[in-house]
Amino acid sequence: MAQLEIDDLSLEFRTRHGVVRALDSVSLSVTRGEIVGVVGESGSGKSVTAYTVMGLNDEAARITKGSITMGGIDLLAARPEAMREIRGREMAMIFQSPRTALNPIRKIGKQIEDVLQEHAGLPSRDLKKAAIAALARVRIPDPERRADAYPFELSGGMCQRVMIAMALACTPSVLIADEPTTGLDVTTQAVIMDLIREMSRSTRMSTLLITHDLGLAGEYCDRIAVMHAGHIVEIGTTEALLQHPAHPYTRQLLAATPVPESRLDDLNSIPGHLPDLRGALPPCRFSGRCERRQLICDEAELPWTELSPAHLVRCRFPLS
């Protein structure tokens, strides 16, 4: 049974330049102990999906259809007070920009203590020790001293680890990790992802990993969903999707991913650009960039094709 279930979710933003249809019929589920990756280029809707699940979109956002449930709780119907209780305790998020997310005038140890006091119910005498332990868990050197530092005294990578420590402090049921390894060196990246995977397995935490790095998703995710212009275009087990990509966009993403033995000249780019989400959009939002495009792609409803029970693609002419 899914711990987090996103079903047929559509969302738009009202702007002075028109209505931006940011998400269209997005469906995604994460079961207990599972890590699901969401990949795609910038502007594909990955972070918007995460913010919508957390209930953190601004007032310009409007959900036009769909549902989001976590452990049987309807998150879209929950009152603001209930969502504040859920965030941090049952559901946590690692934000992509740690310097923006952290309070610049409060010591990092105190910020973690605030989370523990609010959501874990620890007595005051145990808060500092628990905060230091949270910092040590993400391999921050000299955590006792770092707990008394302000965010501006730490590097960007160190601030990212603080954000991860804060998100994992209360052992949430659902973790949304939005580019959690941004600014980290390769060694620390592996440590952090190993920690997330270990917690997912040991505590049955459901993890939604948002990343541009297909290599990272391939190493740590059980399933991968590929997003383009607010659509999920392909989803499957990691092995099936990487070994037998069926959507033209997925193929091009993989072709554009560097491998250790590749040279600069070997790198491929995806032609074209994302469509303007303010105008009339074809059923397939990738059709303007697709070599396999035919007239029916712009006229008929876009179907899901089941390649196997664990591998679905949203394309009229999937690759074999």
Q: Which of these ranges, 180-194, 226-240, 279-293, has the smallest mean pLDDT?
A: 180-194
Q: Phi and psi (nearest 5°) for 66?
A: 105, 180
Q: Phi and psi (nearest 5°) for 111?
A: -65, -40
| DSSP structure class, residue 265 | G
* pLDDT, tens only, 157-185: 888 889 989 999 888 999 999 998 877 78
| DSSP structure class, residue 155 | -
* pLDDT, tens only, 66-78: 999 999 899 999 9
* Dihedral in degrees, nearest 10, Cα atoms 117, 122, 126, 132: -60
Alpha carbon distance, N-terminus to C-terminus of the chain: 31
pLDDT of residue 292: 87
Q: Is residue 260 predicted with pLDDT exceeding 80?
A: no
Mean pLDDT to the nearest integer, 227-242:
96
Q: In whole angstroms, what is the distance from residue 87 CA to residue 220 CA?
A: 24
Q: Is residue 103 predicted with pLDDT exceeding 90?
A: yes
* Dihedral in degrees, nearest 10, Cα atoms 250, 255, 261, 264: -130
CA angle 214, 209, 63 (to 5 degrees): 115
pLDDT band, residue 264 (cuts 50/70/90):
low
